[in-house]
Amino acid sequence: MKNVLFIAPPAGGKGTISEKLVAEFGYEHISTGDLLREIDKTTPLGKEVDDRLKMGKLIDDDLVLKLLKEKLETLEGKPFILDGCPRNLAQAQKCDELFAEMGLSLDVVIELKVPYDVVLNRAIGRITCPKCKSIYNTVTKKPRNLGICDSCGENLIHRSDDNEETFRTRYDAFVEVTEPIADFYKDRGIYEAIDGLHDVYEETVSVLRK
């Protein structure tokens, strides 16, 4: 199986896909968030990162890359999923150098293309009953019948609330940092886009097997 970097907007579904790939094909899922949470504080590198986190300082690209390198050294030939790193052009270039140095390769970069409205609704999929004020979520707390209130049978409505603004900010940040990375891998000829509304998992597996 190919080593892969996923690019997907917040609520774009890469977490679910990654979980399945780990379970089905023995992938190692390497996320920057996990690397930072699972640091070994007994090593000089772990201690440095821990100190910076405690002081609220930025974890710069070099430190992220060092953590990534440590993780990659433990893989023993397992295929890997990169998640959240590289997240800017500089990191992407440094990752390339790191892989070359370690005799590894990033084989494919898959972008899950999911329309803004869809990820927005997943993220803030709140639906409410205008009559009895019951609250549901289209993802996490579905009513028994689609669009109908369990308690009183009224048609449920989706209303925008201030979470949308927060989501928009996250989404815009994603687009801003992602475009240069996608272009970088397009130039390298390893970029693939998958329509995030179709059977994303099956398509992903077929790309990873090619």
35 in contact with Zn ion (CB under 5 A): no
Cβ-based neighbours of 158, under 8 Å, separated by 6 or more? 121, 125, 126, 127, 128, 138
Write out the DSSP string of 120-168: HHHHT-EEE-TTT--EEETTTB--SBTTB-TTT-PBPEE---THHHHHH
Which amino acid appears at position 138 of this protein?
T
Least distance to Zn ion from the beta carbon of 126, Å? 14
178 in contact with Zn ion (CB under 5 A): no
159 part of the active site: yes
In the structure encoding, which two tokens stand for residue 54, read together? 């405690």
- Work out whether the CA dihedral 91, 96, 69, 181 comes out positive or negative: positive
In the structure encoding, which two tokens stand for residue 170, read together? 């996250």
Judged by CB, which is closer to Zn ion: 34, or 154? Answer: 154
- What residues are paired with 34 via a beta bridge? none
151 in contact with Zn ion (CB under 5 A): yes
Contacts with Zn ion in 79-118 (CB under 5 A)? none
Check 133, 141, 170, 188 and give the catalytic one.
170
170 part of the active site: yes
Binding range to Zn ion, per CB under 5 A, among 77-85, 87-95, 100-108, 132-140? 132-140
129 in contact with Zn ion (CB under 5 A): yes
Q: Give the span between the Cα atoms of 110 and 7, in whole angstroms.
A: 6
Binding range to Zn ion, per CB under 5 A, among 10-18, 81-89, 126-134, 184-192? 126-134
Q: Are 99 and 3 in contact (CB under 8 A)?
A: no
Instruction: Select from 25, 96, 104, 134 the one that contacts Zn ion (CB under 5 A).
Output: 134
Instruction: Select from 132, 139, 157, 197 the one that contacts Zn ion (CB under 5 A).
Output: 132
154 in contact with Zn ion (CB under 5 A): yes
Q: Give the span between the Cα atoms of 14 and 144, in whole angstroms.
A: 27
173 in contact with Zn ion (CB under 5 A): no
In the structure encoding, which two tokens stand for residue 209, read together? 């097997």
Judged by CB, which is closer to Zn ion: 64, or 129? Answer: 129
145 in contact with Zn ion (CB under 5 A): no
Q: Are 32 and 84 in contact (CB under 8 A)?
A: yes
Judged by CB, which is closer to Zn ion: 104, or 148? Answer: 148
Q: Where do contacts with Zn ion occur on this chain (CB under 5 A)? A: 129, 131-132, 134, 149, 151-152, 154
Residues labelled catalytic: 14, 87, 126, 159, 170
